[in-house]
Structure 1
Amino acid sequence: MSVLVVIPARYASTRYPGKPLVGLKGATGVTRSLIERSWHAASAVAGVDRVVVATDDDRIREASEAFGAEVVMTSSDWVNGTERCAEAHAHLGGGYEIVVNLQGDAPLTPHWFVEDLVTGLRAAPRAEIATPVLRCDGATLNGFLEDRKAGRVGGTTAVFDSRGQALYFSKEVIPFTSASYADTEETPVFHHVGVYAYRPQALAAYPTWPAGPLERLEGLEQLRFMENGRAVLCVEVAAKGRHFWELNNPYDVPKLEKMMAAMGVE
């Protein structure tokens, strides 16, 4: 029942080149790189057998090894983290029951998000990939809508059926709602958290499939599974008062630092 966590990290990000090495200042004023903070987040997850950084860049390798991470070098041809995870798992000889992709731009991912995700995938034998979703409150939903009005890509949203099987993911805000919500009020919109847990057979097959039109339009790697008829399980997780955000663009840095200060993250 072994679990491998892979942190895919590339230097040549389209929206934010060098992103894994960007420094983030914590509550005590200590600055650590994004990749180091993501590694610490992965290492805090219970029930994990191994954590590795998967990259194609020597600068990221050197920085990661300096703070004690195990690094797997992967091809520079991959376009997303799932492809990089597939190569890393193969490079390590396979054999893991579940492979988790904890993307290197999400250092505030709570450990229970990943723990609940692994539990959810184990309990759903027909699912080949699972990913967390977090119900938006009014403040989060309004932030998404403001981003879209300003032409910015904020969070990704998800819709799923009564069994939790994904129907679609989008960088638009779905489903449409015309209602207005107070900041602390629950909404019908779910924020997709960019973490994935894969069964190894589905992960190995992923790089053999060409990117489909929906994946190319949305820029969302999980849509490749859906476009190839594979079931994606959405596992609802609880924030428990914890702030969560991903570093997608340079203007996210002060937002993350503010959240870390509020939560006392060093």
Structure 2
Amino acid sequence: CATLGKWKVPKVFLHQTKNSTLWVSNPVRIPTHVEDIFYKYAICRRENKWFRKGKLVVDYFEGVGGERTNRKMEFLENHYDLWQDNYNMKLNMRALKNDFQFVKSIYDNIKGIETLKDRIMEYQYIARQYKDLTNSATNINFIQNKLASSVSKEQRLFLCILLGSYMLQPNKPMINGCYLPQNFPSTNLLEDLESIDSDFSLSDTRHLVSHAIRALVQHNSKYGFTTWFKMFTLAPILDESYAFIDAIEVYNFERRSDQFLNALGDN
């Protein structure tokens, strides 16, 4: 990056996260008075391989075509870039599809309600930039595993957005006529939806929340739970068209009539 120094002098260094394809840098301060900032990734080495603290030199830059492949800086809190292939090094897309770490990295950076919307925007950004890779990482196993280990309501709400995105993917497998496995914690997610405020639901995530709700209602009703009844109260905020009704599965409450009547009374 010429703004941070000379092109041939490495300035910002990346380190690989353990056992993954993800490389990250420490936070970098970028001057805001410069109108356009361009940067590029490069492979570097010590000028003399026998000295660990010797001068660093650039072996080669990413991309083919010189300045035409320079990246223009976007003023975002976090950047999610993929290496641009050149004659020396190309991405292994098959390996990357099985280990696309951007979704996990975004999830791990949810620190509370004040960061939730930023992380959702980052997810939407990578979904636009790397649609197929993001879809491969947004799978039901990832969502369910993270739900099991989640420690905050904000993390679970983010996973609800991911579930909505997953439901929009084509060719999803069905298990016993349901898109979610039987042990999926639909009750917990439906309860968390009670804490979504109207500003959140009216953002451009509304359609994702709606698709997630349908999947949760189908699962919750199919396996004899009654938490989905809450949606009649929440629908004016989360699902104004009451589309979730079409996802309700019939369950025989003959032996659990008290539970059914209590659920009706509570909602």
TM range (shorter): under 0.3
TM-score by length of 2: 0.25
Tell which has more relative contact order, 1 or 2 (C-alpha 8 A, sep 6+): 1
Indicate the structure with greater helix content. Answer: 2
TM-score by length of 1: 0.25
